[in-house]
Amino acid sequence: MTRELPEVTAAKLEAERTRLQLMSTANRENVTFYMVDVRGVSTMSQNGAAMSQMNAGGKASNNTTNGANVTTEQMKAADTYETAGRSNLDLALRDLAESTGGFLIGDSNDLRQPLRHVNEEISAYYEVAYNPGIENYDGSFRKLSVSAYRKDLVIHARNGYFALPAEARAAGIAPFEMPLLKKKPSEVVRDSKMYFSVEPGESQLAATIDYVGADHFLYASDIPHWDNEFPHNLHDLQNHKQLSNETKEKILYKNAKELFAL
């Protein structure tokens, strides 16, 4: 007998990843979010769904049995608690605002005072930049602490940063991946037995082969796809004006021979 597994959807994971990337990008670019919930005072309705989910998770967690099959509800208890935490929409808004140096304006029917507070913060401030002079981009988290002699100042500052070079951030490399990258991606490809299938109609074919090296490409006939262009694309590759005869030989059979150890 099989039972349904806890539902952990790719959409949830992607949404969480997007949220964290948004906060990280905002902090790097000195962007502050001030979130406004215009629904007014609605605490009971906000928390109602969260409490319902929390109670359901607690009930499933308490109904544990010894030696018996675990129920679907028990397996989903952790996910139910997570859903409960997200049922109050203000929590996500508050987290985004406070993580970037702002604050949430909500649970109020009078927005005049908090909006005046926002105006004061964005119209009267000093901005200080810090260059850490990193020599070892190891992807580790470096903590920061900012203080001032004046006690009446309000300081909004990041609590640290990841030691990533600008090109790594632009490429979307995560901090935990950086220590694993001892070489550039192009160097990894050149030093490996990695192969890519190509067709002669690709506009950047010659430039890519020249950059990476002809030892990493194989001819693709695109069979059995209905829209394949074999044998015409084979003739096109043989007559490609931007590729040398040596490169064509590697793409058409020498690299395949090497790959399959023939």
The model's pTM is 0.45
Q: Residue 3: what pLDDT?
A: 42
Q: Residue 58: what pLDDT?
A: 55
Dihedral sign, CA of 230, 196, 17, 60?
A: positive
Query: Residue 165 in 3-state DSSP?
Result: coil
Burial of 29 (0-12, 13-18, 19+ CB in 10 A): exposed
119-143 pLDDT per residue, tens: 988 887 777 777 888 888 777 888 8
What's the rounded Cα separation, in Å, for the pair 65 and 67? 6
Q: Residue 80: what pLDDT?
A: 53
CA neighbor of 209 nearest in space, from 225, 193, 197: 197
What's the rounded Cα separation, in Å, for the pair 202 and 34? 46
Least confident of 111-120, 225-234, 250-259: 225-234
Q: Name the phi and psi angles at 146, rounded to 5.
A: -120, 130
What's the rounded Cα separation, in Å, for the pair 184 and 63? 53
Cα 85–Cα 90–Cα 95 angle in degrees, nearest 5 = 80
Q: Is the pLDDT of residue 65 over 90?
A: no
